[in-house]
Amino acid sequence: MQLRRIASVTASLAVLTGTAMAIQSATAATTPTTNPRNGQVTCVRGEVCVQSVTGVIPDSDHMVSTVIRYPKDGDILEKDTPFTVHTKSVNLATGAADGDPDVPDTISLQTLDNNGIVQGHSHVSIQRIEDPNQPPNPLTVLFFKELADPADGSGELTTLVDKGLPPGNYRACTMVGSFGHQPVLMPVVRRGAQDDCTRFSVK
């Protein structure tokens, strides 16, 4: 596993050399400008400016977006009965994962395929909702699955919740990541989310 990670990091670093490692753009390395009024560094919309090594960032026409097709909001499922979660993402070259979500390879940099699409995968996380007005504990997860395989012919990633769930109210969310499981990096802040969540009940 360690050799695989080293190889991944080496390949990622080969993409980002010199000043491009500090400032990356989907089209070309750019130099951020300094606002003379406050001395803060700003960027031009459509360009990507960062001050740390992040990997290769797609352009705004290739941003990731995801929907959970099942279960849908408001669905009522039967307790302790297996069901399959269906998700679909666009602008994600699926099937790229380090294979160990418990020990994420977060030093691997984000990469793009030849079409400018982020190379990565997704995850499904299901949590019980005790109070809809309070954030659930991120460490309390009833079901978690890495979706590391390539999407099927319809573009879907699926996973079987083989034992079903006990009665209760739940939130199912996707967590789209690049190769090393870190969240995918997008070029525009003002955008739709790259992940999706649905809320359903089990009785």
pLDDT computed for residue 5 by the predictor? 40
Distance separating alpha carbons of residues 171 and 165, to the nearest angstrom: 12
Please write the tens of the pLDDT for every residue from 128-184: 999 999 999 999 999 999 999 999 988 999 999 999 999 999 999 999 999 888 899
List of residues 6+ apart from 56 with CB closer than 8 A: 15, 16, 24, 109, 110, 111, 112
Amino acid type, 139: L
Quote the mean pLDDT of the chain: 80
Q: What residues contact residue 143 under an 8 Å CB cut-off, 6+ apart?
A: 124, 125, 126, 161, 165
Residue 23's pLDDT band, with cuts at 50, 70 and 90, is very low
133 by Cβ neighbours in 10 Å (0-12 / 13-18 / 19+) ranks as: exposed
pLDDT above 60 (res 110)? yes
pLDDT computed for residue 7 by the predictor = 42
CA distance 111 to 103: 20
Q: Environment class of residue 126 by beta-carbon count within 10 Å: exposed (0-12), middle (13-18) or buried (19+)?
A: buried
If 0-12 CB within 10 Å is exposed, 13-18 middle and 19+ buried, where does residue 198 land? buried
∠ CA 163-169-172, rounded to 5°: 65
Give the residue-averaged pLDDT of 47-53.
57
Query: Which token pair is 74?
Result: 């408001």
Least confident of 42-46, 59-63, 110-114: 42-46
Determine the pLDDT at residue 180: 81
In CATH terms, the fold of domain 60-202 is: Immunoglobulin-like (2.60.40)
Tell the residue number behind the tokens 């080969």, with chain if given: 14
